[in-house]
Structure 1
Amino acid sequence: MRGIIECLEENPIIAAVKDDSDIEYVLKTDVKVIFMLFGSILNIKEYVDKLKRNGRRVFVHIDLINGLGKDEEAVKFLGKIGVDGIITTKPTLIKAIKNEGLISIQRLFMIDSRSLETGIKSIIEDKPHAVEIMPGLASKVIGRIHEQVHIPIIVGGLMCDKFDIISALSNGALAISTSTRELWNE
């Protein structure tokens, strides 16, 4: 985990790629950490290999890969194809991800005060390596979670401009994940 934190401290923008053209585009940027938000069991290895050959750290959102189960066997498969880590909304997968020696990122959607409370409880119980909070514009929530848990916080969703990035980082986020290409070079 230490290497990824240093990488994100140097360049806190994470490219959240949604299609083939995003992969081609991101390879022309300085972004070092990629969140794969698309693919299938038939092509995910090809994408991971391409990004890794080009010096990128690759995290696959297991919930978004077509044809891949959301279970321990899927985690093992992703580990075997060389991903650095796995993103999931399913707290039950965190242990399996960590058991494979991969970095676990738990994605949480903050929609109301109850989701904030259950999210903090889940982080404390499941102990992922990092948490991704969505939407990223929830600066008060970022600060509150940052005060209560001591793991890296990544924020994503609805990040529109440099001001959003600065706000999130100043409220305790380590990094920003965004699919907005214009922000990948900020």
Structure 2
Amino acid sequence: MRQIIEYLEENPIIAAVKDNADIEYVIKTDVKVIFMLFGSILTIQNTVSLLKEKGKKVYVHIDLVDGLGRDEEAVKFLKGVGVDGIITTKPTLIKSIKNEDLVAIQRLFMLDSRSLETGIKSIVEERPDAVEIMPGLASKVIGIIHKKIKIPIIVGGLICDKTDVINALSNGAIAISTSKKELWNE
């Protein structure tokens, strides 16, 4: 986890890639950390290899890889592919990810006060290496969670411009994941 934090201190923008066109674009940028939000069991290894060859740190959202289960065997498969970490909305996978010495990032959707409470409880119980909070515009929520946990916070979703990035960082986020290509070069 320390290595991702060092990369994010240098550039707090994480490229959230959703398709092959995004991959082609991001390899030409200075962004070092990639969140892969697509793929299939048939293509993931080639995509991860390409990104790693270009010096990128690759974190795959396991829930979004077609043909791949959401279990311990899928975690082992992704480790074999060479990912640096795994993103998931499934708190039960956090332990398996950490057991494979991969960075575990738990993605939480903040919809209301109940999801805030259950999200904090899940973080405290499962102890992921980092948490990704969505949507990223919820600056008050970022601040509340930042005060209650001692885990790095990444925010994503609905980040539209540099002001959104600054607001998130000033409220306790260490980084922003975004699919907005214009922010990848900021």
**Where on the TM-score scale, by shorter chain, does this alignment land: which range?**
over 0.9
| 1:154 aligned residue | 154
Shift of 1:16: 0.3
Shift of 1:122: 0.2
Give the AA of the match of 1:2. R
Alpha-carbon displacement from aligned partner over 1:3-34 (angstroms, at most 9, x marks no partner)? 11111011000000000010010011100000
| 1:38 aligned residue | 38
| 1:5 aligned residue | 5
Structure 1 residue runs without a partner (length 5+): none
Alpha-carbon distance between aligned partners in 2 of 1:60 and 1:111, rounded to the nearest angstrom = 23
Shift of 1:154: 0.2
**Residue 48 (structure 1) aligned with residue 48 (structure 2):** yes
Alpha-carbon distance between aligned partners in 2 of 1:111 and 1:185, rounded to the nearest angstrom = 30
Alpha-carbon distance between aligned partners in 1 of 2:25 and 2:49, rounded to the nearest angstrom = 16
What percent identity do the matched residue pairs reach? 77
Runs of 4+ deviating beyond 2 Å: none
Shift of 1:124: 0.2
| 1:179 aligned residue | 179
| 1:121 aligned residue | 121
> Aligned with 2:16: secondary structure?
strand
Alpha-carbon distance between aligned partners in 2 of 1:79 and 1:39, rounded to the nearest angstrom = 15
Give the AA of the match of 1:44. I
Alpha-carbon distance between aligned partners in 2 of 1:120 and 1:177, rounded to the nearest angstrom = 20
Alpha-carbon displacement from aligned partner over 1:111-134 (angstroms, at most 9, x marks no partner)? 000000000000000000000000
Shift of 1:90: 0.1
**Residue 64 (structure 1) aligned with residue 64 (structure 2):** yes
Give the AA of the match of 1:25. Y
Structure 2 residue runs without a partner (length 5+): none
Normalised by the length of structure 1, the TM-score is 1.00
> Aligned with 1:40: secondary structure?
coil
Shift of 1:2: 0.7
| 2:169 aligned residue | 169
Shift of 1:53: 0.5
Normalised by the length of structure 2, the TM-score is 1.00
Please give the residue correspondences for 1:41-120 in structure 2 after superposition, counting only pairs within 5 Å. Answer: 41-120=41-120
Give the AA of the match of 2:138. A
Alpha-carbon distance between aligned partners in 2 of 1:84 and 1:43, rounded to the nearest angstrom = 17
Please give the residue correspondences for 1:127-138 in structure 2 after superposition, counting only pairs within 5 Å. Answer: 127-138=127-138
Alpha-carbon displacement from aligned partner over 1:54-92 (angstroms, at most 9, x marks no partner)? 000000000000000000000000001110000000000
Give the AA of the match of 1:179. S
